[in-house]
Structure formats: structure tokens, C-alpha cells
Amino acid sequence: MTGIFCIKKRVWYPNILSWLSHATLTFTNPQDRMSTTPLTAPHAAEFTLPERYATNRSGPGRWLWSHFKPHWALGFMLLGGAITNGALAAYVPIEIGKAFEAIMANPPQTQLLMGFVWTIIISQIIRSVLQFARNFAAEWLGQLFERNIREELYTNLLGKSMTFHSLQSVGDTMARATNDVREINLMFNPGLNLVIGAAFFLVTPIVTGFDIHPALAIIPTAFTLVYFIAIWQYLKELNPVTAKQRNAFGTLNSRLSESLDGIETVKGMGQEKLEVNLFRRNARRFRDAYIHQGYIEARFLPMLLMAIAQAAGLWHSLVLMQAGLITLGDVIAYFGLLALFGFPVFTSLFAYSQVSLGVASARRILDLLNNETDLDQNAEGYSKPMKGGIEFKDVTFAYEGHEPALSKVSFSVKPGLTVAIVGQTGTGKTTLAKLVNRTYDVTRGTVSVDGVDVRDWNLEALRRQISIIEQDIFLFSRTVAENIAFGLPGATRAQVEEAAKQAQAHDFIMEFTNGYDTIVGERGVTLSGGQRQRLALARAFLTDPRILILDDSTSAIDSATEDKIQRAIYAATKGRTTLIITHRLSQIRWADLIVVLRSGKVVASGSHEELLKTSPAYKRIFSE
């Protein structure tokens, strides 16, 4: 976009799959448009930006799976490492049992011991290599997820309409875009990495115990079944708490962001103590959610179940040995196998918590991704060069949940004319201007540019040819030259300087130590109001829009500079349609048409002289 937009802020267990997924839809057909919208209810985006691959947003499980599919090889590596890790871990107690039998033989077969030692060493070296591959794959997978989800979320947020951004807290959005995305990374490693690895430590004692004696599979099987039931109950309690924790963090971050963004107001009114107390209350809610999670983890039942299973398994194996069905070496090997339950039990204490946090975070991110917007980029829409004719026809607009800000507004502007929009504060002047470039869409009626409804225009083509300069100028924490060339990134330094000269900004820029390479503070706080507005004017001149909208853009310009700025604006209006929202009589006088708004309605229109004679509302504006 090359127009100038300075808008004011206003989760390989079956139970895991059951709470990861909530829908039964198919994945995106490759022939479909590459979009990351839910397959059931595709919604419009103000701008559809390039994305790596299509994702399914119908639920957290399907969304995460669609991110996993392109990296299936890493998943195969992780799964293979987990299987071999469980199998080779079981090899050690089996060999120790055989070694004990060799020692207890009559006579002792000590010549066999070194063979057992070397087979254990070799097997564990192989296990270590495969475990490294598994951990590497899990970490790589987690980092890929984090990168791709950040990219998807960022491009999606850029494509949201101003209606969305006006209602969504910036602090909460930042919490989801940073901390929640990070939680998804941690969900894979150590979360799912440990969960998947632990699954095979549950299977191995069953299979190997059955191989020693079929009856020895009873205790491990019973433990595994009860373990899954306990984990299901654990997750049932944990899921709402982790969701509450993530929401509490979002609220905490949101309030912090507001306080820092409005730090000047906080300090100016001496309300630091109030803000600290508000932060403490939000931090306390976040702390309480963490404590509740710890309380649930402290009552983790599988710990007790494992101790009971090991005691029962040892008793059962001794009974079988006394019956002559197995040997003492088998008892030792079997008890070593039961000790393998320690890994899934201890890791489940925090691994499932991490997975639960990841799923809660995925839901929060999906809330943003799936939030519908009323605007559509209309990629196939009208995109011819703009002449600049504007027509409002019976336009009514109301912000969501509010009374109409504009009501049945009708007037037209021929290409190249300058129109002044005047009226008292709160009459809908700024709202009217934002309907031209579709920052918002009309509630009823039509706004047309060159005889084409703005909703039928290709949105990018429409906005490329319209520039809006508002009173509250937004500048990025970049160089002066980069700020001026924001709408035209390929502009040369000469073009940038020429635009600055037209906006009467060149002289003060050259007074900076680094000139055009001077970095301005965030939001341009290192510049005066007049300097920010002149940089915005330079940005507009550089893009050469066909429609220029000045929303009280010279209010912060001092009287000594006003005359120069007025001449620059006057020159800029030549050959382009200009809408000026202002209270300055010096600007209103040379407008080709003046439109007077009162309570969201057009009450008069005409030239300055005509309105002074015929419009009491117009005269009242200049008599106050």
C-alpha cells in the first residue's frame, strides 16, 4: 500500500486427540485458493497476504495438524526415536536378569558377563544417538511451528480491517503474538516430545513381561489402563485452569501496554500509584491461576498408582517364581521393566501441563485468526487509474452498537476540486473521510469514486490512490527518509528531498545532525507536532495520490510557518481532488465547495460567501 494511513488507535495419546480436535472436516483441497481461512465458513480479509501453505482453522487440532503436515519427516524422526528409545531402555533390565542367572548358575558362568556388559554399552550408545535425533527433531519442529505461526498471525493481523483493530486490545494481541506462540513451541518440546516418548515406556513392560510369562502382562496392562483414566481426569481439571492462566496473562499484558502507551497522561495526572495497584491486581489473578495449576499438579494420582503397580508386580512375579514358572533372573528383569513406568509418570506431571498450555494458546491465536472482518480486498475489483470524482449518495454510517454518526449524507465532488468539510466537533467529519478509502464501510447508501462504488474497487488500487493525513500523525521508529518514503519504498533520495521541500520540511530536517538519516523516536515523539505533520505532508506529496484528504492536518503548525504550508497545500491540490477537514478560515476560503455538517447531516453547501449569507450553522462556526 502506498497511501498514507495514519489511523488513531482506538494442542500419541488418544485422550490428547480428543481435546485437541473439535470438528470432523477435511483438509484444504490444493485446488482451492491458498488461504488460511476455516474450511466451513471462509471469511473475507481486507488484504490476503502471501502465506507459506494453507492451514485448517476449524479447530486447534486440525490447525496444528495442518502446520505439521509439511514437516512430516521430522515427526517420523521423532516417532522413530521414541520407539527405539523405549525398546532399548527395556533391553537393559533383561540383560541384567540374564547376567544374574549366569552368576547364580552352578557352576557360575562368569565368562558370559563381559558379553552382557558390551551388549548393554553398545545398545545404550545406539539409544543415545537415536534419542539425540528424536530431541533434535522435536526442537526443530517446535521452532518451525513458532516461526510459521508467527508469520501466519502477523500477515493475518495486517489483513484485518480497522474495525477489528479498533476493538482489539493491542496488549492482548501482543501477548498472543509473542507468549502464546512461544507456548506452542514448548508444547512440542519438551511437551509432546516427552508424551510420545513416555507412551512407549508404557507399552514395553506389557510386551516384554508377556514374553517372560503371559501372566506378567496383567499388572502393567492394568496400570496403563488406570493411568489413562487418571490422566483424563487430570486434563479435565487442568484445561480450564491453563485457559484461565493464558487469559489472565493477556489481561495483564493489555493493561501494561495501555499504561505505557499513555504514560504521558499517567504522569501528567499523577496517577502512577493507581496504575501500580491495577497492575498488582492483574498480576495477582495471573499468580492465582498458576497456584491453582500447581494445586492440581500436587494431587497427581499416577505417582501413587506407579508405586502400587511396582509393589503388586514384584509380589506377582515372586508368586510365579515360587510356583516354578519363572526364575529369579526373570523376577529381577521384570522388576526393572516395571521401573520404566517412572519415566512416563514423572514426565507427565509437567509434560501434560505444557501441552495443555499449548492448546489453550492455540485457541487464543485461532480466536484472532478466525475473527471475521467486514471488509474484502475484492482482488478482482475495479482497478483503473483514478480521476478523483467522489459521490456520497444517501450515506448512513453507525459504529457498532452506537447511534448513526452520519445520516443520509449526499453530495458530489468533481475530479480536481477542493472541498472543505466543516462543522462542530463530533459532527462526523472524520468518519465521512474514512468512508472514501473504505477504512469503514457505509451502513446504508453508497460512496462512489469515479462513478464506481468503493466496495466494487480493488481495495489496494483504491487506497494506493488516496492519501489521508490526520491530526494525530504516526511515524515509525526509522529514519526520516524511510518515514517519508513509506508509501513509495523505491523512491530515490532526490524524490524524498523534493517531497520534503514541497511540504516545507527540508530546512528543519537538514538541521538534524544526521539529516534525512536521523532516526525519529517511536510515534515521532522526538519531533514537534508541526514537524510530524510536515513529514506526513511530504509522505503524501511523494505518493502523488489522486485524492488527498487533510483531516485538520495543519492544526499544530505555528503561525510563522502557516503561510508556507498553506501555499504548499494549495500547490498540492492542483490536479487532484482534495477533501479538507478544518476550522481554519484561510483554508476554507479557497475551497471550491464547502459542505457543512451538523449532527451527522449535511445542512448546507456552497461557497464561503454564499454560506455566510444563507447558513446560520456556517456563520455560527466562525462566530464562536
The CATH number that applies at residue 92 is 1.20.1560.10
Could you say which DSSP state residue 105 is in?
Answer: S
pLDDT of residue 3: 37
SS3 label, residue 181: helix
Note whether 338 and 312 are within 8 A (CB): no
Task: Count the neighbouring beta carbons within 10 Å of the beta carbon of residue 241.
Answer: 22
Specify the CATH number for the domain of residue 482. 3.40.50.300
Q: Which of 110-114, 282-286, 378-382, 589-593 reaches the highest mean pLDDT?
A: 282-286
Considering the chain, what percentage of its residues have pLDDT values greater than 70? 87
Residue 120, φ and ψ in degrees, nearest 5 = -65, -45
The Cα 613–Cα 603 span in angstroms is 14
Do 220 and 104 belong together in one domain?
yes
Look at residue 79 and tell me if it is in a domain: yes
pLDDT of residue 11: 33
Instruction: Return the H-helix or E-strand segment holding 449.
Output: strand 444-449
Note whether 99 and 62 are within 8 A (CB): no
The Cα 562–Cα 135 span in angstroms is 66
Q: 306-320, 448-462, 536-550 — which is least confidently predicted?
A: 536-550
pLDDT of residue 244: 87
The Cα 340–Cα 138 span in angstroms is 22
If pLDDT is split at 50, 70 and 90, which confidence band does 397 have? very high
Q: How many helices (H) and strands (E) does the chain have?
A: 24, 10
pLDDT of residue 393: 94
DSSP per-residue letters across 187-229: IIIIIIHHHHHHHHHHHHHHHHHHHH-GGGGHHHHHHHHHHHH
Choosing from 312, 335, 369, the residue where a domain stops is 369
Task: Count the neighbouring beta carbons within 10 Å of the beta carbon of residue 492.
Answer: 10
Mean pLDDT calculated for residue range 469-485:
85
More confident residue, 577 or 171: 577
- Number of domains comprising the chain: 2
Do 498 and 429 belong together in one domain?
yes
Alpha-carbon Rg for the chain, nearest whole angstrom, is 34
Look at residue 265 and tell me if it is in a domain: yes
Q: Is 19 exposed, middle or buried (0-12, 13-18, 19+ CB in 10 A)?
A: middle
SS3 label, residue 111: helix
Look at residue 594 and tell me if it is in a domain: yes
pLDDT of residue 558: 60
Give residue-wise pLDDT tens across range 24-74: 233 333 333 333 333 333 344 455 556 677 888 888 889 999 999 999 999
Considering the chain, what percentage of its residues have pLDDT values greater than 90? 23
The Cα 453–Cα 390 span in angstroms is 10
Mean pLDDT calculated for residue range 132-146:
91
Mean pLDDT calculated for residue range 205-232:
91
Do 129 and 264 belong together in one domain?
yes
Q: Residue 16: pLDDT above 50?
A: no
Do 434 and 343 belong together in one domain?
no
Give residue-wise pLDDT tens across range 479-531: 999 999 988 888 899 999 998 888 888 988 999 888 999 988 765 667 877 78
Do 175 and 276 belong together in one domain?
yes
Do 357 and 466 belong together in one domain?
no
Cell numbers at 66, concatenated: 495442518
Mean pLDDT calculated for residue range 353-376:
83
Residue 579's beta-bridge partner residues? 419, 549
Cα 585 to Cα 173, 240, 616, 618: the distances in Å are 42, 60, 16, 11
Note whether 371 and 528 are within 8 A (CB): no
If pLDDT is split at 50, 70 and 90, which confidence band does 235 have? confident
Q: Residue 308: pLDDT above 90?
A: yes
Do 488 and 526 belong together in one domain?
yes
577-581 and 418-422: which strand pairing? parallel
Could you say which DSSP state residue 575 is in?
Answer: T
Do 139 and 249 belong together in one domain?
yes
pLDDT of residue 561: 60
390-398 and 444-449: which strand pairing? antiparallel
Look at residue 273 and tell me if it is in a domain: yes
pLDDT of residue 624: 57
Mean pLDDT calculated for residue range 81-98:
87
pLDDT of residue 171: 79
The Cα 193–Cα 622 span in angstroms is 72
Do 107 and 191 belong together in one domain?
yes
Look at residue 37 and tell me if it is in a domain: no
Look at residue 40 and tell me if it is in a domain: no
Q: Residue 204: pLDDT above 70?
A: yes
Do 407 and 287 belong together in one domain?
no
Look at residue 33 and tell me if it is in a domain: no
Could you say which DSSP state residue 119 is in?
Answer: H
- The contacts found for 95-103 with CB under 8 angstroms, 24 or more apart, are 95/119, 95/120, 96/120, 96/332, 96/333, 96/336, 97/329, 97/330, 97/331, 97/332, 97/333, 97/334, 97/336, 98/329, 98/333, 100/328, 100/329, 100/332, 101/327, 101/328, 101/329
Choosing from 369, 398, 429, the residue where a domain stops is 369
Do 327 and 423 belong together in one domain?
no
Note whether 284 and 240 are within 8 A (CB): no
Instruction: Return the H-helix or E-strand segment holding 251.
Output: helix 218-261
Say how far residue 459 (Cα) sits from the centre of its chain.
23
* Burial letters 121-134, b for 16+ CB under 10 A, else e: eebeeebeebbebb
Choosing from 340, 369, 398, the residue where a domain stops is 369
Residue 395's beta-bridge partner residues? 409
Q: 81-90, 157-166, 587-596 — which is least confidently predicted?
A: 157-166
Diameter over CA atoms, the chain = 126
Do 155 and 253 belong together in one domain?
yes
Look at residue 381 and tell me if it is in a domain: no
Q: 20-34, 305-319, 584-598, 602-616 — which is least confidently predicted?
A: 20-34
If pLDDT is split at 50, 70 and 90, which confidence band does 373 have? low
More confident residue, 400 or 523: 400
Note whether 597 and 586 are within 8 A (CB): no
pLDDT of residue 497: 92
Residue given cell 488460511 in the structure block: 36
Mean pLDDT calculated for residue range 244-270:
78
Q: 87-96, 151-160, 253-262, 384-393 — which is least confidently predicted?
A: 253-262
Three-state secondary structure string covering 500-529: HHHCCCHHHHHCCCCHHHCECCHHHCCCCH
Comparing CA positions, the residue from 539, 601, 234, 614 lying closest to residue 394 is 601
DSSP H helical ranges for 518-558: 529-543
pLDDT of residue 9: 34
Task: Give pTM, 2 decimals.
Answer: 0.68
Q: Which domain holds residue 529?
A: 390-623
Could you say which DSSP state residue 150 is in?
Answer: H
